[in-house]
Chain A
Amino acid sequence: MIQLSKNYSLPERQEEPIPIKVVGVGSAGSNALDRVLLDGMDKNDLIALNTDVQALASSVAARKVQLGRTSTRGLGTGGDPELGYQAAIESADEIRQAIAGARMIFICAGLGGGTGSGAAPIVAQLAREAGSLVIAFATLPFSFEGKRRAAQAQDALSRLNEVANAVICFENDRMGDMVAPKAGIHQAFGVADMTISQSVRSIVNLIQRPGLIRIGFDDLFAALRSQNGRCLFGFGESDSDNRAHDALTQALKNPLMDKGRMLGEAAHVLVQVAGGPGMTLSEVEILMRELGRHVRDHTQIVFGTAVDGKMGNRLSVTIISSLASEDSVGQEAPSVQEPFLAPPPAILEEVEELPRPAPKIDIEPEVVPESAAAGDLIPFEQPEPVAPEAPPPAAPPPIPSIKKPAPRLIPPKKKAVIEKEQPKAPKEKCVQAKQEVMQFEPVTRGRFEKSEPTIVEGQDLDVPTFMRKNIRVK
């Protein structure tokens, strides 16, 4: 067996911990935060935003922002996104302060209600203006919650799609399917929170871990490209003897994966395999071969691998992909009618086309006066090559800027990130790797040669047991 030598090293990539913040908007969002904290995220990275003071008080986040002090006066929004929107605009200043300093912002929100639907897009937009990368995790309501909520959720989703760099969307209905029918309703909701938490953690890891084959933002976006689509996400980790297999099985068991069946329809699949120094090439090979059974031949697999001392004996697999919704296969604009924020072109494909659009006109007066917040931005804009040009405009007219400086600030930043992180190699490499794997199987199945193989737990059971277990008979 070939083994990755531990001495072999690429020019050591210093592990820059990327400053991140996880923002929970609305009560669904703060539930997700609770779970994220439980799963071991630093408390200081969590920010809860809510209109409802009571709910806010019970949140675990270190930083809490009450939205709409005057417009909702500490009560909820009563399911009115318009009110949530107003509240967020009113508190834009505080939000900006709270999210300052983070390079990546994860927004967790339950769409369909008032605060989540109304405020999340604003938060995303503010974060983009502050120069952060924004990945939104949105849950869509259960279908039994009514058509109205579903429509509000769709509306909010399309707005989020416009402003955020990527939106990962969880359908509660699907989560419900995965929970045993007898389980309590809190469990059904809990599954969504858990999945969100896993996604946040694994995306952070994905991007932070020094990779042998690195996965960058661009790869991530490629995998998530189909708009309004369904996100497929799976994460598995194992330290057993058969850890490659176990981790993959676990990843495919994820509610969003449908046991890997959905993968067959995806055009891009992003896979990251991370493990300790003991991870062997053959393990990765086995894993990719198994995964190969679930995807079609022409699916592009973006493959990344990382060795992380902290992983110890464990091996983790992260699979991210998305399915286009029936109609919109391309990456083009949301199929939904233009939302009231504005109709900017789809962001995911090219960063240049940031939302230059104006939100409703009535916002502008309220938002203009903040300059303190803009000041906050500058420090961490600086590392970026293009930043110098940015600050001057950014400071004084920060807010009318909601549109203008933003495009200028972010694109450079993002590009820089991309260039830095994308060694270009991964794609070619992955193609090769996959082909090699395919050639590997000299199986003998005797009389079952021509029948449909019975593959259970990754093993072809038609091959005699003694052969698979390498036991010599005779």
Chain B
Amino acid sequence: MASGDLIVGLEIGTSKICVVVGETRPDGTLKILGVGQAPSRGVRKGEIVDFETAMKCVHEAVVDAEQKSDVMIRSVYVAVAGGHIQGFNNRGCVMLSDDRDEIDDQDVEDVKVNAREVSIPAQNAFLHSIIQHYHVDGQDGVLNPIGMLGQKLEADFHIIHGVRTRIQNTIRCVKELPLEVEDVVFSALASAQVVLTQHQKNLGALVVDIGGGTTDYILYVDGAVKQSGGLAIGGDHITNDISMGLRIPMARAEKLKTEEGSCVLGNCLPGETIVLKDDSGFAGKEIERETLNTIVHLRLRETFELLKRTVEEEPFINYVGAGIFITGGCSLLNGIDHLAGEVFEMPAHVTHAQTLAGLTSAVENPQFSTAIGLLKYAQAVQIDRPRRGIGRLFGRFFSGMR
């Protein structure tokens, strides 16, 4: 049984639902107690399309996790993803009243509220507002302004928002189990917590989480989040392309992709073929390896190019020093790091969660980055300020943690 505080991360992915149970030790480390999984149905492109089915799958995964870790799960941190999630930067500003000049808690709260006063589409809701830097009377790069003297406090925030109803669907799906939802976290943000070290965040890094249905990204420069968002393209699209291009069923295309797929062109023998075995083990259809790779390559290249164009709308990509970190289930594809490196013209790495104690076999799979990242996120939030309003937690977390 668990001795410290239990933290549970739940990711409702397009291809699988994954529950990671961890505990925080008194010395501040995290230990993973167990990982539960279930194949996901009723989810397309990271969003729930069949509520009942998705709920059953989540239930399965949670039960699996409970059995493996031997704990009761009551509350979870949930990751959300999807093409509807967008991020942007905004600056908030407050002037202190004339009779005082020391910046206090309340001013920092005010500036945060002020930074949030921007127009996002009516149907959208704020997911995170993450502090980048404070400025006091024009002095840049202030990390913690509380206690400083000044008249004008400004703060740059990165704000992540998404379509309210879609986020609520995810929450409701969990609540009906019934489990308590502690917090909702953008999946790439969660992944970045375990994929990147603080040093890499400072150098500047782009984390790309390619899952089954979505590709989410988050970009760090100078240790602060500068850009984030999601594309509704993922591994499913590759499978679909293979299935349509080679005219084979989806299930077989999926298997072919994971077992044989590669996005490197031109390194197989001319005419080299793969023989598809049918269920009874007899040799069936033959397909050319190069064809398979071409299909995968084209799709992934397009995805990266699209991502690059999106990221290049703002200048921050130029300040990325550590390179690109690819994670998520799709990052297991052969050669994906070369392709990403080629498209973005900077070093690219396939990574998984680092630096955790416990079940290392679970940790060392990029499929679990997001779920494990949720634990790290939760831990940071809880250390910083146990049990207060969710809205306050985020800001705290990042102001202390950056």
A, B assembled together:
yes
Q: A181-B90, A451-B44, A451-B45 given as contacts; is B291 within 8 A of A461 (CB)?
A: no
Q: Is the Cβ of B45 less than 8 Å from the Cβ of A452?
A: yes
Q: Which residues of A contact B244 (CB under 8 A)?
A: 444, 446, 464, 467
Known: A451-B49, A461-B237. A473 touches B245 (CB 8 A): yes
**Is A6 located at the chain interface by the 8 A CB criterion?**
no
| B8 nearest CB across to chain A (Å) | 29
Whether B299 contacts A464 by the Cβ 8 Å rule is yes
If the complex has contacts A177-B119, A471-B294, are A465 and B91 also in contact, measured as CB distance less than 8 A?
no
Are A464 and B49 in contact (CB-based, < 8 A)?
A: no
Contact A466 B298 (CB under 8 A): yes
Contact with A along B221-243 (1 / 0, CB 8 A): 00000000001110011001101
- Which chain A residue has the least Cβ–Cβ distance from B290? A473
B288 and A474: CB pair below 8 A? yes
Are the CB atoms of A447 and B298 closer together than 8 Å? no
When the two chains form the complex, which single residue of A446, A473, A474 contacts B240, counting CB atoms closer than 8 Å?
A446
Q: How far is the CA of A454 from the CA of B295 in the complex (A)?
A: 19
Complex interface: chain B residues within 8 A of A469 (CB): 298
Residue in B closest to A182 when the chains form the complex, CB atoms: B91
A10 within 8 A of B: no
> A448 near B: Cβ within 8 Å?
yes
- Whether a CB of chain B sits under 8 angstroms from the CB of A457 is yes
Bound Cα distance from A268 to B368, whole angstroms: 50
Contact count A vs B, C-beta below 8 Å: 76
Say whether A425 faces chain B, with CB atoms less than 8 Å apart. no
- Report if B250 contacts A (CB, 8 A): yes
For A261, the closest partner residue in chain B by CB is B121
**In the complex, B83 has a CB within 8 A of chain A:** yes
The verdict on A466 contacting B243 (CB below 8 Å), with A447-B250, A451-B45 known, is: no
Would you call A456 and B298 a contact (CB within 8 A)? no
Neighbouring A residues of B241 by C-beta, 8 Å:
446, 464-466
Which residues of the partner chain B approach A457 to less than 8 Å between Cβ atoms? 306, 309
B96, chain A: closest CB distance, angstroms: 20
A 169-191 binary contact with B (CB < 8 Å = 1; else 0): 00000000100011000000000
In whole angstroms, how far apart are the Cα atoms of A462 and B91 in the complex?
36
CA distance A128 to B232 in the complex (A): 53
Q: Of residues B89, B240, B294, which shows the largest number of chain A Cβ atoms within 10 Å of its Cβ?
A: B240
B302 within 8 A of A: yes
Q: How far is the CA of A461 from the CA of B288 in the complex (A)?
A: 25
Most chain B beta-carbon contacts within 10 A, residue among A448, A469, A473: A473
Q: Which residues of A contact B288 (CB under 8 A)?
A: 474
Contact A464 B44 (CB under 8 A): no
For B301, what are the chain A residues with a Cβ–Cβ distance below 8 Å? 465
A454 and B298 in contact, given A177-B119, A461-B233 (Cβ under 8 angstroms): no
* CB-defined contacts of A473 to chain B, threshold 8 Å: 245-246, 291, 294-295
Flag if A466 contacts B240 (CB, 8 Å): no
Knowing A446-B243, A447-B250, A451-B45 are in contact, say whether A466-B294 is a contact too (CB < 8 A): yes
How far in angstroms is the closest Cβ of chain B from A470?
11
Q: How far is the CB of A61 from chain B (nearest CB, A)?
A: 36
Residues of B within 8 A of A181 (CB): 89-91, 118
Give the nearest-CB partner of B288 in chain A. A474
Inter-chain contacts of B299 with A (CB < 8 A): 464-466
Chain B residues positioned under 8 Å from A446 (CB to CB): 240-241, 243-244, 250
What residue of chain A has the Cβ atom nearest to residue B47's Cβ?
Answer: A452
Residue of B nearest to A474 (CB): B291
A49-B240 Cα distance, complex, nearest whole Å:
64
8 Å CB contact of B295 from A445, A451, A456, A464: A464
Bound Cα distance from A182 to B93, whole angstroms: 11
Q: For the complex, what is the distance from the CA of A48 to the CA of B301, rounded to whole Å?
A: 54
Point out the residues of chain B lying under 8 angstroms from A462, CB to CB: 237, 240
In the complex formed, the residue of B with least CB distance to A453 is B232
Chain B residues 265 to 302 lying within 8 A of chain A, measured CB to CB, are 288, 291, 294-295, 298-299, 301-302
A182-B91, A473-B245 known; A465 and B302 CB under 8 Å? yes
Q: Mark B24-49, 1 if CB is under 8 A from A, else 0.
A: 00000000000000000000110001
Of chain B, the residue at the smallest CB distance from A454 is B232
Is there contact, CB below 8 Å, between B45 and A454?
A: yes
Query: Taking CB as reference atom, which chain A residue is nearest B240?
Result: A446
Nearest neighbor of A469 in chain B, beta-carbon distance: B298
A43 vs B323: C-alpha distance when bound (angstroms) = 51
CB distance from A291 to the nearest CB of B (A): 20
CA distance A280 to B288 in the complex (A): 38
Q: Note all chain B residues with C-beta closer than 8 A to A452.
A: 44-45
Determine whether the beta carbon of A464 is less than 8 Å from that of B240. yes
A229 to B250, CA, bound (A): 51
Closest A residue to B309 using CB positions: A457
Look across to chain B and name the residue whose beta carbon is closest to the beta carbon of A174.
Answer: B119
Which B residues between 119 and 138 are near A, CB-CB below 8 angstroms? 119, 121
A469 to B246 Cα, complex, angstroms: 17
Nearest-neighbour CB distance to chain B for A181, whole angstroms, equals 5
| Cα distance, A182 to B245, chains bound together (Å) | 48
**Which B residues lie within 8 Å of A177 (CB)?**
119
Q: In the bound complex, do residue A465 and residue B298 qualify as a contact, i.e. CB atoms below 8 Å apart? A: yes
Bound complex: CA A461 to CA B303 (Å): 9
| Cα–Cα distance between A120 and B298 once the two chains are bound (Å) | 57
Residue among B119, B232, B236, B306 with the highest chain A CB neighbour number at 10 A? B232
- Determine the chain A residues whose CB is within 8 A of the CB of B231 once the complex forms: 454, 456
A448 to B45: give the CA distance in the assembly, Å: 9
Q: Are B45 and A466 in contact (CB under 8 A)?
A: no
Which B residue's beta carbon lies closest to that of A467? B244
Q: Please, what's the 1-or-0 string for A296-307, where 1 marks a CB less than 8 Å from any CB in chain B?
A: 000000000000
A448 to B44, CA, bound (A): 8
The residue of chain A having its C-beta at the shortest distance from the C-beta of B292 within the complex is: A473
Measured in the bound complex, the distance between the Cα atoms of B118 and A251 in whole Å is: 24
A474 CA to B286 CA in the complex, in Å?
Answer: 11
A467 contact set on B, CB distance < 8 A = 244
0/1 per residue, B78-97, Cβ < 8 Å to A?
00000100000111000000
Nearest chain-A residue to B90 (Cβ)?
A181
| Contact of A454 with B233 in the complex, beta carbons under 8 Å | yes
Q: Which of B346-370 contact A (CB under 8 A)?
A: none
What CA separation (Å) do A402 and B121 show in the bound complex? 47
Roughly how many angstroms separate A466 CA and B240 CA in the complex, as a whole number? 12
Measured between beta carbons, the chain B residues less than 8 angstroms from A456 are 231, 306
Closest chain A residue, CB of each to CB of B115: A181
In the assembled complex, how far is the CB of residue A125 from the closest CB belonging to chain B, in whole angstroms? 37
Minimum C-beta distance from A252 to chain B (A): 15
- Cβ contacts under 8 Å, A466 to chain B: 241, 245, 294-295, 298-299
The reply to whether B306 and A464 contact each other, CB–CB distance below 8 Å, is: no
Verify B298–A471 contact, CB threshold 8 A: yes
Q: Nearest-CB distance from A253 to chain B (Å)?
A: 11
Contact with B along A112-134 (1 / 0, CB 8 A): 00000000000000000000000
Q: How far is the CB of B170 from chain A (nearest CB, A)?
A: 16
In the complex, the answer to whether A447 meets B240 with C-beta atoms within 8 Å is yes
Please encode chain A, from 383 to 426, with 1 for each CB lying within 8 Å of some chain B CB and 0 for all others: 00000000000000000000000000000000000000000000
Task: Specify the chain B residue showing the minimal Cβ separation from A173.
Answer: B119
Q: Which 3 A/B pairs are nearest by Cβ-Cβ distance?
A: A464-B241, A454-B232, A465-B298
Offer 29 A-B interface pairs, CB within 8 angstroms, sorted by A.
A181-B90, A261-B121, A444-B244, A446-B241, A447-B240, A447-B243, A447-B250, A448-B45, A448-B237, A448-B240, A451-B45, A452-B44, A454-B45, A454-B83, A454-B231, A454-B232, A454-B233, A456-B231, A456-B306, A457-B306, A462-B240, A464-B241, A465-B241, A465-B298, A465-B299, A466-B294, A466-B295, A466-B298, A467-B244
- Supplied contacts A454-B233, A465-B302, 5 more A-B pairs, CB within 8 Å: A451-B49, A457-B309, A465-B298, A466-B298, A473-B246
- Interface residues of chain A, those whose CB is within 8 Å of chain B, are 177, 181-182, 261, 444-448, 451-452, 454, 456-457, 461-462, 464-467, 469, 471, 473-474
